Structure 1
Amino acid sequence: MASLTRDEARARAELLTVDSYDLLIDLQDLREGSTLQVWSEITFVARRAGETFVDIVAEQVEATLDGQLLDTSGYDGARLPLTVTPGIHRLSVHSTTTRTSERAGIHRVVDPGDGEPYVWTSFEPDDARRVFACFDQPDLKSTFQLQVVAPAAWTVASNTPAEKVGDLPDDARVWAFGRTPKLSTYLVVVCAGPFHEVRRQVPGAPEGGTYDLGLLARKSLAGYLDEQADELFDLTAKGLAFFGERFGMPFPQSQYTQVFCPDFQGAMENWGCVTWMDSFVFRAAPTATERELRAIILLHEMAHMWFGDIVTMRWWDDLWLNESFADWAAVWATAETTEFTGAWASFLGNRKEAGYTADRSPATHPIRQDVPTVEAAKAAFDMVTYAKGASVLRQLTVYAGEDDFVAGLGTHFERHAFDNATLEDLLESVGSSSGRELGQWAKEWLLTAGTDTLTLQAEAEDGRYTAVRVLVEPPAQYPAQRPHRLGLGVYDVDGEPRRRELLDLEVSGPSTDVPQLVGAPVADLLLLNDGDRTFARVRPDDAWLAALLEFGARLPDPVSRALVRLTLWHLVDDGRLAAREVVRYVVGALAVETEASVREGLLRTGVAAVLDWSGPADAVAGGNELARACLDLAVRVAPTDPATRLSALQAALAVASDADLLAELDELVGDDVDLRWRWLTRRAATGNYDEQAVADLLARDPDPDASSRAVAVRAARPEVEAKEEVWQAVIVERSVPLQAYLAVGRAFWDPAHAAVLERFAARYLDVLARLGEGGMTAALATVRQLFPRHGVDADFPRRATELASADDVSPLVRNQVTEAASTLERMLRARGLV
């Protein structure tokens, strides 16, 4: 299937403007069958005579242009050729497809809990064509009016409020939705099924009106959604108020709906109707981090209403204008307007860390990159675009000044509302408000790949500094002169560390002096990039490292403590520090850490160090040491902090192997269903699979997706037959929901099962070329969460990278496999296997 090229998109945009879409979407057969019928009417204007095409992926297509039947013999299954004359045209296309269960464009899924079907669409970047005929590119924005025919018992949600719902024969209804503002095709959505719906009115809409907020989830999750609705509505209302005020433009539609969809991955920012993976309707008590992550994702998708929906990139090379901004804005809003005030520490320890990993991969690229085709655009949905881009935007807020930066965004939205914009447009708006010339800044930060390494050089005599310098080293393959605005924390230790001062530095060039410290008493610790304002790897010398290990866990500011953990982890990643040293640091830090976001980062790092970065002996010893620390933490906080108790027990259940520890965990887990699944998974991993216990837990677990938890338990077994069964279900049959891939993948690739896993690592390479089938989100989940980490030899990363480079591998899979293989190579080195 041909992928639209940038040149083709430019030519079509030069030829056409699109006025409107009127769509009739018939979902009736999807109650039990697989057939989708759609009638698309497009009104467009041709500036001159020419040849072009409309995008539609279907098995059957009939079309008329200006009332005249079109010859469809040239239709290739994806493009219907058009010959146009100057002026207004009306194109009508009737399309039929049965590809409605492939997780691409449109997906029909049956709830395993009650057998009810649900249908959702998700179109980014070019899957609108799988549902309706369209000019499927972001710069041909248009208005859309949808009518959806569905079974009478179903609820249908779309971008705008339903203006009318009418009964039809054969137990059906037609839902007529209001016309949208000008949108790109990928932002249109339809969700349908016997949803449970909760709605609430909140103030804040334009002209003193109210917002009509909606939450939808499948019926089997109704009780969970009802329990969590207050929190979700509260976050939504706060976000709409915050963004509307700070961007100088309230969300201009009265209705804002969020639909939690089964067998979905991630979330999608459809105008006025956000879709989510429904694992975010929690089935068990959440940890603090899970609640915070849900808040950040909610605000990320909401920020897209401005970054991406109201103002849309012209082409996919500016995808970062959507995703980097939404990532930055989400954390900014979370820290400013919710209870999760430690969101920037969480960002550093999770999202930003992923950005550093992606940027050191051979597959890295500039934040704003060259994207010649839409297929190549799919590869851009990575942590360089998201996390590094958001980190760089945070650096820009410091460099330009936050108030001026936000004022520039308001100007940007006002100038380009419901239109398209580019990097140059944004720089003009922010530059005019801040007084900064941003062309060179953009060249170094947005148009050049790679991460700088920062070091400190300090000289002293008689206990006082005679010189202090910040040294900046860009990667050799990506030379740059990035300006850094950052903090330098100066710490003295008298019992406990105390920050003497926080210096605000503007660093440029390979070396920048710090004259403020000349003559000052030598500190016990200097912490570079304190406050985590810039995107750079910080490399301490031996004395600095010793101070970090000794004092880092007790620094007074949580972001500083999070930065210490990340700095130590980068040393492991660089091969300069053994994973066991980080495990020891984590164990000590857990005893004193008080901030939930920092504690969660410690737990995550400790588990990763044990499971993926330690040699076999260190993995067993370190795992049990970490599990003991987690048990102690869980017991200590149990009476007052159930969320921390929960996260500590989850971490312990990921790494414990000692029989006595597992017995203690058995008692602490008690009747908690989620923890009991984790306990059964860990027991199975140590060779103690209990089939009856799994059956009993399935019987009492009210989660309609509990069968996926049973798959993870089977995946953890060290027997070839058990792993073969899971391999068939996940890789061959694709019968396991995407949201289960993370737990199943972690259980499957257990470090203690290396000998059993060798055959499956080889088979992963055999199917690698086909991992791009089944839609973008499925491919991302399969590579990111199921890539082999154990059962591999030293040559495996090279073979994986080589196979991913083949012409028949999608750019998305190539990018993700290359990054995963690069990380695996460093893991193997850390384990002493290379």
Structure 2
Amino acid sequence: MPSLTQAEAKERGALLRIRSYRVDLDLTTGDETFRSTTRIVFDASPGATFLDVRPRELRSVILNGRELDPAALDDGRFPLDGLAEENELVVVADMAYSRECEGLHRYIDPADGRVYLYAYVFIDNAPRIFACFDQPDLKAPFTFDVTVPDDDWQVLGNAPSTRLGPGHWRLAETAPLATYLTTLVVGPYESFHAEHGGVPLGLHCRASLADGLKADVEEVFEITGQCLDEYRRLFGVPYPFEKFDQVFVPEFSVLSLDHPGCVLLRELYLFGSAVPRSERETRAVVIAHGLSLMWLAGLVTNTWWDDLWLGQAFADYMAHRVTGDVTRFSGPLTTFAVRRKAQAYVADQRPSTHPVSLAGPDVRTVLLELDRISYFKGSSVLRQLAARVGTPALRAGLSTYFTRHAYGTATFTDFLTALSEAAGTDLTEWARVWFSTCDVGTLTPEITVSDGVITAAAVRQDVPEGHPVPRPHTLDIGCYGEESTTIRVTIDGPRTGLPQLVGRPAPEFLLVNDGDLTYAKIRFDDRSRAALPGFLPRLSPVNRAMVWCALLMAVQDGVYPAADHLELVTGMLAVETDPSIVVEVLEQARIDVADRFLRPERRPAALAAVAGALRDRIAEVEPSDEIWLCLCRGLVEFSTDVDELRGWLDGTRLPAGLVLDADLAWRTRYRLAVLGALAEDEIAAAHDADPSTRGEQFAAKCRAARPDPAAKEAAWEVIVGDTEMSSYGLWALAEGFWQPEQAELTAGYVPRFFAEMPAAARSRGDLVLDVLVRFLYPRYAASAETLRLADELLARPDVELPLRRRVADFTGDLRRAVAARTGVSG
């Protein structure tokens, strides 16, 4: 199917003005398809255009009372000509349900057999549900009528819904919406309601998970209300829609989708088991992110997809800022500094790196670039922008932008114009350097000391080869010692002198980018690097997080030994008090450093050292401490002691006070499966006892993770050949397949990945394929032979863009791992 180009959208946008959509969906027609009837009223100038519709069967198309031939449909496009000044178009089609989040997703709950539906229209899947002119600048009001098969089903969407009679629901007419921002949620969802500041609030989930949500309803509504109040204050515009629903939906491919009035959330954020505070904090950030997009995408919508990044990046920036400012969670910026920023730095050094601002001739190309650079680098650059202009100018600019373009569309230029007016300075060149160029620079302090006094000081800014110019940075430099202080500086150019430091006593530890205000990798001078183990615990949480991120980047750049990193992690575990830092650093230490960058022969001793440190800290910390569960989960990941893990499962060796709930039991089983100590009958029994979605996915991961040739072959055949399995089941198998402990067993699958993946990719949608390749790429096979096989695949002309792009990226990551293992003593 052709992807809509920007040129086509401009031509169609100039031709049409959409007055309204009325969509009637009949969901009683069977398990495979549903009936969709769409009535579109629109004005047109003379000319020809096309309608977007992707049905299982197109039954009829009637334009101004004239029947058109359904056979004219060609690859998702239906040609329209002979348009009048005022038009009515009625399209009837049978649409297919989805299992891969493309259109109307249909899910059967394994816990009770009940059916749940939700509409996944992002970014170009609306034509799988209703006929439309699918581009963001053709906004229009929508009305939905929905017929459902059971009286206990309800219907939710962008506007308030009304039950008109048995099995018949209507959603009120919406404010003008882009097609990609519409949604429907249909099924026997359990609901909870509240109100805040005149805005009706709703929380919804599957009936089988309602107990898990019930325990958190008060917390979620409280966070939602706090964020609503703060956004009203910051944006200068009231909440722009009639109500705000949040729905936890099954088999969701992304963390959230933020439709006006109705946000869909991944069930990952429904906590049926005990979780660390850091996971509740993450949920609060996701809630704040979705709510901010009611303004940043719903009220003012991007004119074309190349500006889609702005709403997402700003929502990410606002979510971390606002959650930390007004909720009980104080650590979002800490988590961002240690985790999400690291993900942006990695993405920004891959072959597919691109500017924060998106570019591409068509929707598919733009969507491929909507990634961690768009979100997390974009968020970081907006934090730098806020530091540059100040909060008052930021608030004034946002208020102007939302007021000026309310319920319409706008471009990044419009946004920048409003902000420049408020700041009293033209931000065009600053924005060009930051938003329209690729790659990440590196800031290194250069300090000369004589007799304990600084005699010369500067910051060197290194940029990747081919980068046009070093970026300007507004940042703080922290000087730590007997007297600690920070100074605000502007770094601009390849080398910036720091006369403010000359003549001062030399600090024991100097930190560039104190407070994490800018986007750049940082290095340490020799004196500070030597002092790091002693000073790291004395830094603020945000600075500790930023240092850990810097060290991870240094390991990946091959300038800091992986073994030294893991030794520092072992020491950290004795003193670190921030749960978010413990969780993120342990995950990076296992998945990145120990599993990929450390030389394989050193891995067993490194895991044992970290596991030992975890046991020691667990014995010292009270179970009521927020960090305790983080430590216990970490021990499961690092332990290679089968007897210890078996003792956790049967209750004979559990740490005093630890309750082995369903989640922790599955984590323990998964680790045992990797170590070859979990049999198939045990997996089956555990799955029978827990037939939930979580149990189903963990069972699949455990089966794929077992070091058994038959288990590996069975998992592989399903991954590459079963097109009926749900995306979640597919990902679970792929996630469990490769294990560092099983390199010899899985060596034969490395060439199979490169040989078989192109054919398998053709049967998957881009969204599913993106996650599948991330899990299935042979990331632990860090060898010259793997790189050779990857290069051969990338040279093939039949490899389509989504697969080519992801393989190139992960091969770039692997190349760095190979270099790091053979470079510094890791």
Common topology (TM > 0.5): yes
Structure 2: 5+ residue runs without aligned partners? Answer: none
Match of 2:378 among 378, 389, 394: 389
The separation in 2 between residues aligned to 1:604 and 1:512, in whole angstroms, is 36
C-alpha change, 1:800 and 1:418, in structure 2 (3 Å) is farther
Other-structure match for 2:686: 697
The separation in 1 between residues aligned to 2:158 and 2:557, in whole angstroms, is 47
Aligned-residue offset at 1:694 = 3.1
The separation in 1 between residues aligned to 2:103 and 2:383, in whole angstroms, is 33
Match of 2:706 among 693, 705, 717: 717
Matched, 1:380 2:369: yes
Aligned-residue offset at 1:692 = 4.4
Contact 1:196/1:216, CA 8 A, preserved across alignment:
yes
SS in 2 for 1:577: coil
Other-structure match for 1:18: 18
Other-structure match for 2:813: 823
The separation in 2 between residues aligned to 1:455 and 1:700, in whole angstroms, is 55
Other-structure match for 1:556: 539
Other-structure match for 2:347: 358
Q: String of CA shifts for 1:529-588, please: whole Å, max 9, x gaps.
A: 11101000112243332222x224222311111121111111101011121111110111
Other-structure match for 1:265: 253
Other-structure match for 1:192: 186
Letter in 2 for 1:323: Q
Other-structure match for 2:771: 781
Match of 1:603 among 586, 589, 604: 586
The separation in 2 between residues aligned to 1:704 and 1:74, in whole angstroms, is 42
Other-structure match for 1:490: 479
Matched, 1:230 2:218: yes
C-alpha change, 1:772 and 1:404, in structure 2 (3 Å) is farther
SS in 2 for 1:705: helix
Taking only the aligned residue pairs, the percentage that are identical comes to 35
Matched, 1:317 2:306: yes
SS in 2 for 1:139: coil
Contact 2:274/2:661, CA 8 A, preserved across alignment:
no
| Between 662-671 and 395-404, the greater mean CA deviation after superposition | 662-671
SS in 1 for 2:664: helix
Contact 2:462/2:470, CA 8 A, preserved across alignment:
no
Aligned-residue offset at 1:702 = 6.9
Letter in 1 for 2:498: V
Matched, 1:647 2:630: yes
Matched, 1:671 2:660: yes
Structural mapping, 1:340-359, within 5 Å: 340-359=329-348
Structural mapping, 1:81-230, within 5 Å: 81-85=79-83, 87-151=85-149, 152-167=151-166, 173-200=167-194, 202-204=195-197, 210-230=198-218
The separation in 2 between residues aligned to 1:521 and 1:282, in whole angstroms, is 51
Matched, 1:45 2:29: no
The separation in 1 between residues aligned to 2:794 and 2:236, in whole angstroms, is 46
Aligned-residue offset at 1:308 = 1.3
| Between 691-700 and 96-105, the greater mean CA deviation after superposition | 691-700
SS in 1 for 2:48: strand
The separation in 1 between residues aligned to 2:800 and 2:292, in whole angstroms, is 29
The separation in 1 between residues aligned to 2:798 and 2:396, in whole angstroms, is 46
Letter in 2 for 1:88: E
Letter in 1 for 2:41: T
Other-structure match for 1:207: none
Letter in 1 for 2:769: A
C-alpha change, 1:554 and 1:671, in structure 2 (3 Å) is closer
Letter in 1 for 2:174: T
C-alpha change, 1:690 and 1:755, in structure 2 (3 Å) is same
Aligned-residue offset at 1:99 = 4.8
The separation in 1 between residues aligned to 2:511 and 2:215, in whole angstroms, is 44
Letter in 1 for 2:687: L
Letter in 1 for 2:347: A
C-alpha change, 1:772 and 1:589, in structure 2 (3 Å) is farther
Aligned-residue offset at 1:633 = 2.3
Match of 1:500 among 467, 472, 484: 484
SS in 2 for 1:50: coil
Q: String of CA shifts for 1:630-680, please: whole Å, max 9, x gaps.
A: 222223223321x42222122221222144654675522663322222222
SS in 2 for 1:182: coil
Matched, 1:574 2:557: yes
Other-structure match for 1:587: 570
Other-structure match for 1:521: 505
The separation in 2 between residues aligned to 1:330 and 1:772, in whole angstroms, is 36
Letter in 2 for 1:701: D
Aligned-residue offset at 1:734 = 5.5
Other-structure match for 1:496: none
Q: What's the TM-score, normalizing by structure 1?
A: 0.93
Match of 2:267 among 255, 264, 278: 278
Contact 1:611/1:655, CA 8 A, preserved across alignment:
no
C-alpha change, 1:427 and 1:19, in structure 2 (3 Å) is same
The separation in 2 between residues aligned to 1:272 and 1:818, in whole angstroms, is 39
The separation in 1 between residues aligned to 2:98 and 2:455, in whole angstroms, is 70
Contact 2:734/2:775, CA 8 A, preserved across alignment:
yes
The separation in 2 between residues aligned to 1:88 and 1:616, in whole angstroms, is 70
Other-structure match for 2:716: 727
The separation in 1 between residues aligned to 2:550 and 2:689, in whole angstroms, is 44
The separation in 2 between residues aligned to 1:744 and 1:656, in whole angstroms, is 22
Contact 1:708/1:736, CA 8 A, preserved across alignment:
no
The separation in 1 between residues aligned to 2:469 and 2:211, in whole angstroms, is 54
Other-structure match for 1:245: 233
Aligned-residue offset at 1:775 = 3.5
Aligned-residue offset at 1:45 = 1.1
Structure 1: 5+ residue runs without aligned partners? Answer: 168-172, 205-209, 494-498
The separation in 2 between residues aligned to 1:290 and 1:780, in whole angstroms, is 24
SS in 2 for 1:28: coil
Contact 1:359/1:450, CA 8 A, preserved across alignment:
yes
Q: Give the number of equivalent residue pairs.
A: 813
C-alpha change, 1:636 and 1:754, in structure 2 (3 Å) is same
Letter in 1 for 2:182: V
Matched, 1:628 2:612: yes
The separation in 2 between residues aligned to 1:255 and 1:779, in whole angstroms, is 35
The separation in 2 between residues aligned to 1:798 and 1:312, in whole angstroms, is 45
C-alpha change, 1:801 and 1:381, in structure 2 (3 Å) is farther
The separation in 2 between residues aligned to 1:28 and 1:55, in whole angstroms, is 24
Letter in 2 for 1:53: F
C-alpha change, 1:663 and 1:262, in structure 2 (3 Å) is closer
Letter in 1 for 2:559: R
SS in 2 for 1:222: helix
Aligned-residue offset at 1:740 = 6.3
Letter in 1 for 2:23: L
Contact 1:600/1:647, CA 8 A, preserved across alignment:
yes
Contact 2:479/2:510, CA 8 A, preserved across alignment:
yes
Letter in 1 for 2:334: A
Contact 1:755/1:791, CA 8 A, preserved across alignment:
no
Contact 2:55/2:128, CA 8 A, preserved across alignment:
yes
Q: CA RMSD in A?
A: 2.2
SS in 2 for 1:322: helix
Q: String of CA shifts for 1:794-816, please: whole Å, max 9, x gaps.
A: 24245436635766555444333
| Between 282-291 and 408-417, the greater mean CA deviation after superposition | 282-291
SS in 2 for 1:251: coil
Q: What's the TM-score, normalizing by structure 2?
A: 0.94
